[in-house]
Amino acid sequence: MRDIAKLKPEHMENNVAFNVKYVPNANDTREQAVDTVFSYVKAYCELGGMQLQFNMIDSETLKDAMAHPENYQNLIVRISGYNARFVELSRDLQVELIERSQFNA
């Protein structure tokens, strides 16, 4: 986090978007999850960072969304600069997002 926060956006061709994967523990309360994200954002901004993108879903949920799209009509994912409903993406792109989330686990 410190290394990314040190980067100067004026020297970056496409800005500095810091991607962070955070999947709350199943035992965490909503307040604990919010506190963790808040602390992360606060620390990053205090270090001089400018832009964070949180990914807060695990690959098992994405796999279930592929198998049961009717249950995930409002599942929004971030894809290289835009947001989309997961269930409306092509199967190939869904698989790619799942592979990405597994790699970052």
pLDDT band at 99 (very low <50, low <70, confident <90, very high): confident
The CA-to-CA distance between both ends of the chain, in Å, stands at: 17
State yes or no: pLDDT of 94 exceeds 90. Answer: yes
My answer on whether 77 and 26 are in the same domain is: no
My answer on whether 9 and 43 are in the same domain is: yes
My answer on whether 45 and 67 are in the same domain is: no
My answer on whether 6 and 52 are in the same domain is: yes
Output the DSSP codes for 42-63: HHHHHTT---EEEE---HHHHH
My answer on whether 1 and 52 are in the same domain is: yes
Q: What is the pLDDT of residues 5-26, one digit of tens each?
A: 888 877 777 666 777 888 888 8
My answer on whether 47 and 62 are in the same domain is: no
Residue 63: domain span? 57-105
Phi and psi (nearest 5°) for 50?
-120, -35
What six digits make up the tokens of 44? 């990053």
Task: Please state the pTM of the whole predicted model.
Answer: 0.65
Q: Tell me which of 105 and 50 has the higher pLDDT.
A: 50
My answer on whether 15 and 62 are in the same domain is: no
Q: What is the pLDDT of residues 53-72, one digit of tens each?
A: 887 888 889 999 999 999 99
